[in-house]
A = this chain, B = another copy of it.
Amino acid sequence: MVARAQRLDVKAAPELCCAQSAGQTLQAKPRALVSAGTMPSALPSPKNSDREAWGSRICISSATWRINSDIHPWYDCVGHLDMDTPVSPSSARRGALARCAGYFITAHHSLGRDFISSHPGGDVILNAAGGSIDPFWKIFNIHHKQYVYDILEQYRVGVIDPTDLVNGEVPSAVIDDPFEKDPTRDARMLMHTEKPCNAEPPGEVLNEFLTPNELFFVRNHLWVPDVSDPEEHEVTIVTFDGDEVTFTVRELRQIFKEHSVTAVLQCSGNRRSHMSKQGGDTQGLPWDVGAIGNAKWTGVLLRDVLREVGLDVNEPPEDVQHVQFLGSEAYGASIPIDKAVDRRGDVLLVYQMNDQPLPKDHGAPLRVLVPGHVAARSVKWVKKIILSDEESQSQWQQRDYKCFGPNIKNDPDWSSAPAIQEMPVQSAVTAVRSSGSKISKGADRTNVISTHDADSERTILEGYAFSGGGRTIVRVDVSTDGGRTWDQAELLASPSQGSKSWCWQRWQYSVPAGAVGEGFLVKAVDEAYNTQPEGYGPNWNFRGNLTCGWQRVPANKPEEPQGR
């Protein structure tokens, strides 16, 4: 009953305060992770001028500072406490300071519920409390991005006294690398970050209806959990009454009927680089068209498992509104109960991918598959499934995977937008086959659009189209004259399994080589006759989620960034 336990902890102690300063003892979980011996005996009092300077981003709680979680959670971990500059780590407050990128910041302050729960690494951040975060950032090197440093600069409270450095670095403890047991990845993958692993395949792979396992995009938020005996891996179902029923993977296979579904998984950041280039900078990994893949998934229906533990799957009680999933590494997300019990929803607990054992990077030994929904809901390495009246409170549900208006540059009211579940209609070009050099590959497409030698008479465009919610793609339109006239691409056969159109629609378009004109524009239409928006600026969102503007493949010259 992890979810309930978390909820109770929070109610009992809304802030996990510094023990000494707030006169409270640490809660069970932090206590196990934070070394009390490194804590300061007192916290500084804020000065009024500081309050003004920091504005609403910092508020005061008793004698401690508390950082509001009103900025992106990736950056919340770089809040600060100490207003004195310069501060020496050899001072009395040394233990209260953490260092990053040459600046002093602190990871040791009043950590509210929002802060910890919204940190992508979960409680892991508490390992750094009272010390340097350097060794952690050497592991979680996803932090080493210019835009992280730019925001970090706002939080600079001082520079480290050089006499305190050893070999140019702040002395820090040696820690274990949680990514040590991550699998080796195929060398052909385009690696965006290694720890955690975020990688997409080269373009030619996306021309296949089924994406090979070893080349399926990897979007890990943390490390890959190490499971010694896959068949004995346990998943626990927590009913709304709080009862727990645990199945091993072996038992799931034995008890329930096996089902196979062909389905796309698409990261909400797919094509983000297109939005950044044409609509303006966004936060997040610069995925090209490859943060998507299509596979045959085999496992058991979540609907069957929920029925087995006593849920009326045809008429679930009103109290049960969401199904939360918790991964072994700390990731969490949820889906609406109606998707989970829909007899045509095809939500699976998966142990096979493309008729092979599920690979480690894709959730072995057991993952959730929520076809038609953003991949962030298909929780990998699932260990707990919780029936609840509320969504997952993880930041992947409450924050990261949402979209806001183009006027919202940061600091949104996170609750004002729903968590992404079903996705909008999408299409992309995965290959341009031409014997000439008429078609530019473009700087941002180098790795995912291949220019092959082909029939010298024709230029051939290939790609995928997809829509959320199982909505069928009914048409793919292509223009070679900047959108003035359009023609239809050929929709290729899609031998899929499942109750709805969960898989992508492969398409192809061929024109005489001399008729390429201004290059190509592509847009798709789904069965609800939703279509893709033309531009990127009017649909820009600061997180760069759900990029689905028309893809433009220009002739002759690389695509120019467009103003917003």
Contact = CB atoms under 8 A, between A and B. Distances in A.
A474 interface: yes
Interface in A505-558: 523, 525, 527-535, 537-539, 545-546
A449 B475 CA distance: 34
B527 A422 contact: yes
A376 interface: no
Contacts of A423: 528-529
Contacts of A488: 405, 407
A421 B472 CA distance: 12
A483 interface: yes
Contact of A486 (B425, B471, B486, B538): B538
A338 interface: yes
A485 interface: yes
A477 B425 contact: no
A232 interface: no
A418 interface: yes
A479 B537 CA distance: 12
Contact of A534 (B421, B425, B533): B533
B484 A564 contact: yes
A417 interface: yes
Contacts of A527: 418, 421-422
B533 A424 contact: no
Contacts of A418: 472, 474, 527
A529 to B, nearest CB: 5
B338 A314 contact: no
A529 B420 contact: yes
A238 to B, nearest CB: 24
A471 B528 CA distance: 11
A468 interface: yes
Nearest to A341: B343
A484 B539 CA distance: 11
Interface in A471-510: 471-472, 474-475, 477, 479, 483-488
A78 interface: no
A474 B420 CA distance: 11
Contacts of A314: 314, 343
Interface string A370-407: 00000000000000000000000000000000011111
Nearest to A424: B530
B424 A538 contact: no
Secondary structure call for the A interface: loop
Contacts of A564: 484
A537 B485 CA distance: 9
A73 interface: no
A468 B407 contact: no
Contact of A477 (B344, B486, B538): B538
A487 B409 CA distance: 12
Contacts of A487: 405, 407
Given A338-B344, A344-B338, A407-B488, A538 B483 contact: yes
A130 interface: no
Contact of A474 (B315, B417, B474, B546): B417
A327 interface: no
A100 to B, nearest CB: 34
Given A338-B344, A477-B538, A564-B484, A531 B533 contact: yes
**Which of A485, A523, A529 is most buried by chain B, counting CB atoms within 10 A of its CB?**
A529
Nearest to A419: B527
Contact of A528 (B424, B529, B531, B533): B424
Nearest to A487: B407
Nearest to A425: B530
Interface in A321-339: 338
Interface string A445-483: 000000000000000000000001101101101010001
17 contacts: A314-B343, A315-B343, A405-B477, A405-B487, A405-B488, A407-B485, A407-B486, A417-B475, A418-B474, A422-B471, A423-B529, A469-B469, A477-B538, A483-B535, A529-B545, A529-B546, A531-B539
Given A417-B475, A418-B474, A422-B528, 11 more contacts: A315-B343, A403-B529, A405-B486, A405-B488, A406-B477, A406-B485, A407-B485, A418-B472, A421-B527, A424-B531, A469-B528
